[in-house]
Amino acid sequence: QVQLQESGPGLVQPSETLSLTCTVSGDSINSYYWSWIRQPAGKGLEWIGRMYNGGSPNYSPSLKSRVTMSVDTSKKEVSLKMRSVTAADTAVYYCARAGEYGFLDYWGQGRLVTVSS
Amino acid sequence: DIVVTQAPDSLAVSLGERATINCKSSQSVLYSSSNKNYLAWYQQKPGQPPKLLIYWASTRESGVPDRFSGSGSGTDFTLTISSLQAEDVAVYYCQQYYSSPLTFGGGTKVEI
């Protein structure tokens, strides 16, 4: 059974860097794309980006200048860093797995990140 | 970017009745060489992550009840719940994976 678990600080200061980790268990981290998606309270889903181990990441154009994703195969972790955050970045952040094509078949439970001083 | 639009924003359906949700993409998500539509549907219940229901526009994910069905091609798609059950109360999202950035519809809230 594939399981994804997001972790990281739940509170981030404005202008600082949001850092989240997604730990994968139950399957290999290779051979899949790993995406980050976020959801502000009461709103819809926004795709942040995806990456494939050993490949180039693919980011949403609207966030590309502030986002970095990476994969650590030895720890089976996928990470997200988002720089210069503002209150508009407050959301539940999900990691999710995609196969070759892009539909998201496994999701983590999500991590609420609040940007506030 | 491909813009994905859902309608309606919300709908109320009686138990046992049919629910229909529409999804429209701003350009075709049909990949001609494979004849596959790069369109998925997700269900999100309160306090939970989204759950994949349907991919390739009409293929049910394993374990998804057969009262859920997807149809359509090109730019126009439909998710149908043939006989609404209480546990189907949720927000439903469509998503295109034809091109990056992947984009979601705004969601449709289904209530009893």
Is pLDDT at A100 greater than 80 in this prediction?
no
- pLDDT score for B42: 98
Compute the nearest-CA separation of B39 from chain A (Å). Answer: 8
The mean pLDDT of B16-38, rounded to a whole number, is 96
The closest of A100, A101, A114 to A38, measured between CA atoms, is A114
- What is the C-alpha separation between A90 and A74, in angstroms, rounded? 30
In percent, the amount of chain B with pLDDT more than 70 equals 100
Q: What is the pLDDT of residues A16-47, one digit of tens each?
A: 999 999 999 998 888 899 999 999 999 999 99
Residue B86 in tokens: 């209480």
Q: Concatenated DSSP letters for A36-80? A: EEEE-TTS--EEEEEEETTS--EE-TTTTTTEEEEEETTTTEEEE
Q: Are the beta carbons of B52 and A104 separated by less than 8 Å?
A: yes
Contacts of B94 in chain A (CB under 8 A): none
Closest alpha carbon within chain B to A39: B49
The average confidence (pLDDT) of chain A is 94
Contacts of B43 in chain A (CB under 8 A): none
The closest of A107, A88, A102 to A37, measured between CA atoms, is A107
